[in-house]
Amino acid sequence: MRSLVVFSVFFLGLATTLSAQKINAAYRLDIRKASSPILIDGVLDEKAWEEADVATDFFMITPMDTSFARVKTDVRMSYDEDNLYLIVVNHHAVEGPYMVESLRRDFSFGKNDNFLLFMDPFEDLTNGFSFGANAAGAQWDGQMYNGGSVDLSWDNKWTSKVKNYADKWIFEAAIPFKSIRYKKGITEWGINFSRLDLKTTEKSGWAPVPRQFPSASLAYTGTLVWDNPPPDAGANISIIPYALGGVSKDFQNEGSIENRGEVGVDAKIALTSSLNLDLTVNPDFSQVEVDRQVTNLDRFELFFPERRQFFLENGDLFAGFGYTTIRPFFSRRIGLNAPIQFGARLSGKINKDWRIGAMNMQTGDVEETALPSQNFTVMALQRQVGARSNIGAIFVNKQSLNYHPDTTSENPIYSQFNRNVGLEYNLASANNMWTGKAMLLQSFAPDNTGNGFVHAANLKYAAGNLTWSWQHEYVSENYTAEVGYVPRRGFYKVNPFVGYRWFPKSEKILSHGPDGSMTLFYNTKGVHTDNNSFVSYNVRFRSQSNLATYFVYDFVKLQAPFDPTNSGNEKLPVGSDHYAFSWRTEYVSKPQSVFTYGFTTRMGGYYADGELYTLTTDLGYRFQPYVSLALNTTYNKIILPEPWGTTDYLLVGPRIDVTMTNTLFFTAFIQYNEQIDNVNLNTRFQWRFKPASDIYIVYTDNYLPDPFNVKNRSVVLKFTYWWNI
């Protein structure tokens, strides 16, 4: 506890010391109301564009950040009562075709020639929105949080067009004021523009950004200066109904054909220009893309990110609290084993300094498992302090309704309630070089059985060459977060890290240098239980390919029985010690080629004096811009003494994306997972017949590999329509 107080005091002092005026305050772009109608056609021929100011003379971010960009980019912005307009002329510096993966929405940034807009309509240097497109016209949109992270799962209603010429490509867009949130009345927004040109391997930005940071860093935005405050979006209500029909059959258990017919509705109501209310009744997420499977050789639960649209806007207020392995709230716990009946979310900015989030979800009961209906309530509050730092609080409550405890079971499948309260301080200096966090969590459960405590803190410094960080965590044995993601309890953890990069004057190598890290765990009695340490050397080439090698030391004193094959075999005993040295290599090829590849290898010791050999490959080929092929494979060979012997696990995941237009998509994803003895086929057809309105056909099969028999099969047809009132 004392260490957390010391860290908190240090953070507050550091934030005060590093608070400063906006770094790129001198970069200003005036925006005026359009003097003529603007047609979104990718042609710069309207009078409004002739009169608009031009943002040009971009600065190079990579490979170097000390000069102007070689690739010329010109940006103009305007607006009317309904839309914010943008037109970008992306000039070519090198002859040849553009480079893209496909027309798939929310493309991979590093594998596409693209232009992106980053805007901070709150002028808090922390939250905002991103819009853009690749050179073939595929759209990109996301909500920004933590000063530079972009959640691409967030989708909204806007229109764009890309037109290609011999010497340039032009991107033009109209973003409705109803589709974004912004502070009413202010006449200056944070703004920056990012351009990636793969032929020259150059990433550039209008307002300069140091190369150690992403171009999305809101700490380095310039200023968009409005001639008048942005128009009031007016009554901003969106109704999004859906209807679906489907059939499914469980062949493995000789079940009968089951028919589905459902309707539901979502609503988005803007209470103010920066505060939004989301409502849902009988939601369905059958169109959400399936998770990519992984081979699990770990002792703890795996994490899979949230993909459901309802939970995403301002999702960082709820899901961003804590650390990646200490989350008091994880929305995928809701609706995991029971249908969601209805829900409501209030989220957004109250003013420049305060953000608020409140959520309530209700699930139905499940007769098959005797799971009662449950209510989930989450409340979050965030107050900005200093330049870009904030203090946050969270309350999470899971309550079982019509509670009838199972007195016959030592481990009932549900509890009467579980609650968490937490407080955290997030540090982000004005120049983004200092970041960190300090937090406290307390859980509450019936009869004090799940009353537990968490405290943790970290501090990171990232300059041009040197990066170092320190993190420590404490999670008590009784801490419980039934609506969270906390795979491990009852430990102390310390984790120092240091890395250094040289940037030589070389035609081949952009940067190279070592990293070193040590992660130590102790149980609550002070016994050393884990040590994961590594030293690595990393090389980034000017072609944008990457090579890294790692030498790793692992030590584990088991705190619970564990099967090292995770296959239900005999378990290693509690208290047994296991030591291992291993060598790992990672390589990712340059993204400019139509054929891309990457691989990771691992060879060395494993539990019980065994050995583990791992090979992971990622292969891709594109027939741009319409077809993208990918093949992901993981092979693990585990060699252990008896009774385990030798175990082989193969995971293969071929995928095909066909993008006939930027509104018509087909995806087929096959996964063969030897560890769980399953073949999964998931195909999804999507027609975006209007902005944010879709028709989906989703077909799913699961097979037993040997013999190749169907386990279960389903097909769903779903219709959604985004209706603005």
Which residues have CB under 8 Å from 224's CB, separation 6+? Answer: 29, 31, 77, 119, 188, 189, 190, 191
Determine, yes or no, domain membership for 175.
Answer: yes
Q: What pLDDT, on the 0 to 100 scale, is given for residue 313? A: 79
The secondary structure of residue 50, as a DSSP letter, is: H
Domain-ending residue, one of 449, 482, 515: 482
Number of domains in the chain: 2
The secondary structure of residue 654, as a DSSP letter, is: E
Q: What pLDDT, on the 0 to 100 scale, is given for residue 21? A: 62
Determine, yes or no, domain membership for 161.
Answer: yes
Residues 65 and 195 in one domain: yes
Residues 73 and 155 in one domain: yes
CATH of the domain at 206: 2.60.40.1190
Say yes or no to pLDDT of 7 above 50: no
User: Which of 92-96, 187-191, 474-478 shows the lowest per-residue confidence on average (mean pLDDT)?
Assistant: 92-96
Distance CA 355, CA 315 (A): 12
pLDDT digits (tens, 9 = 90+) for 656-696: 999 998 899 999 999 999 988 899 999 999 999 998 899 99
Residues 76 and 182 in one domain: yes
Determine, yes or no, domain membership for 130.
Answer: yes
- Average pLDDT of the residues of the chain: 90
Residues 56 and 179 in one domain: yes
- 155 beta partners: none
Q: How confident is the model at residue 3 (pLDDT cuts 50, 70, 90)?
A: very low
Residues 14 and 55 in one domain: no
CB 90 within 8 A of CB 115: yes
- 143 beta partners: 129, 151
Residues 81 and 187 in one domain: yes
Say yes or no to pLDDT of 456 above 70: yes
The dihedral formed by the CA atoms of 140, 142, 147 and 148, expressed in degrees to the nearest 10: -30
CB 680 within 8 A of CB 698: no
Q: Which of 141, 132, 115, 145 is nearest to 218 (CA)?
A: 145
Pull the structure tokens for residue 605.
């010791």
Read off the pLDDT of each residue in 174-194 and give the average, rounded to a whole number: 92
Q: Could you tell me what percent of the chain has a pLDDT over 70? A: 95
Domain-ending residue, one of 226, 241, 265: 226
Determine how β-strand 528-541 pairs with β-strand 374-385.
Answer: unpaired
Q: What pLDDT, on the 0 to 100 scale, is given for residue 314? A: 83
Distance CA 591, CA 545 (A): 7
pLDDT digits (tens, 9 = 90+) for 591-631: 888 999 999 999 999 999 999 999 999 999 999 889 999 99
Residues 90 and 14 in one domain: no
Domain-ending residue, one of 455, 482, 509: 482
pLDDT digits (tens, 9 = 90+) for 31-58: 999 999 999 999 999 999 999 999 999 9
Q: What pLDDT, on the 0 to 100 scale, is given for residue 568? A: 83
- 634 beta partners: 616, 651
Read off the pLDDT of each residue in 402-421 and give the average, rounded to a whole number: 72
CB 119 within 8 A of CB 143: no
Distance CA 530, CA 527 (A): 9
Q: How confident is the model at residue 406 (pLDDT cuts 50, 70, 90)?
A: low
Residues 76 and 214 in one domain: yes
Q: CA 260: distance to chain centroid?
A: 31
pLDDT digits (tens, 9 = 90+) for 120-145: 998 889 899 999 999 999 999 999 98
Q: What pLDDT, on the 0 to 100 scale, is given for residue 286? A: 73
Distance CA 496, CA 516 (A): 8
CB 510 within 8 A of CB 545: no
Residues 208 and 318 in one domain: no
Say yes or no to pLDDT of 290 above 90: no
Distance CA 527, CA 577 (A): 12
pLDDT digits (tens, 9 = 90+) for 628-641: 999 999 999 999 99
Distance CA 185, CA 531 (A): 54
Read off the pLDDT of each residue in 497-504 and give the average, rounded to a whole number: 95
Distance CA 520, CA 507 (A): 40
Distance CA 543, CA 504 (A): 15
The secondary structure of residue 401, as a DSSP letter, is: S
pLDDT digits (tens, 9 = 90+) for 711-725: 999 999 999 999 987
pLDDT digits (tens, 9 = 90+) for 501-540: 999 988 899 999 999 999 999 999 999 999 999 999 999 9
Determine how many CB atoms are found less than 10 A away from the CB of residue 506.
12
Residues 112 and 194 in one domain: yes
pLDDT digits (tens, 9 = 90+) for 543-575: 989 999 999 999 999 999 999 998 888 999 999
Q: How far is CA 209 from CA 187, 204, 308, 504, in A?
A: 23, 8, 32, 20
Residues 150 and 201 in one domain: yes
Distance CA 581, CA 496 (A): 20
The secondary structure of residue 291, as a DSSP letter, is: P
Output the 3-class SS for 239-284. EEEEEEEEEEEECCCCCCCEEEEEEEEEEEEEEECCEEEEEEECCC
CB 132 within 8 A of CB 144: no
Say yes or no to pLDDT of 11 above 70: no
Pull the structure tokens for residue 644.
């385990």
Whether the link from the prior residue into 63 is cis, omega within 30° of 0, is yes
Domain that holds residue 450: 1-19+305-464+477-482
pLDDT digits (tens, 9 = 90+) for 96-118: 888 998 898 889 898 899 999 99
Residue whose entry in the numeric block shows the structure tokens 């971010």: 61
Phi, psi (degrees; rounded to nearest 5) at 336: -70, -45
Read off the pLDDT of each residue in 390-403 and give the average, rounded to a whole number: 92
pLDDT digits (tens, 9 = 90+) for 319-377: 889 999 999 999 888 887 788 999 999 998 888 889 999 999 999 988 777 788 999 99
Determine, yes or no, domain membership for 215.
Answer: yes
The secondary structure of residue 17, as a DSSP letter, is: H
Determine, yes or no, domain membership for 8.
Answer: yes
Residues 90 and 210 in one domain: yes
The secondary structure of residue 138, as a DSSP letter, is: -
Determine, yes or no, domain membership for 117.
Answer: yes
Say yes or no to pLDDT of 394 above 90: yes
Determine, yes or no, domain membership for 354.
Answer: yes
Output the 3-class SS for 481-532. CCCCECCCCCEEEEEEEEEECECCCCCCEEEEEEEEEEEEEEECCCCEEEEE
Read off the pLDDT of each residue in 576-584 and give the average, rounded to a whole number: 96
Q: What pLDDT, on the 0 to 100 scale, is given for residue 101? A: 86
Distance CA 175, CA 77 (A): 11
Pull the structure tokens for residue 221.
């935005």
3-state secondary structure of 13: helix
Determine, yes or no, domain membership for 252.
Answer: no
CA contacts within 13 A on the Cβ side of 51: 13
Rounded to a whole number of angstroms, the distance between the first and last alpha carbons of the chain is 52
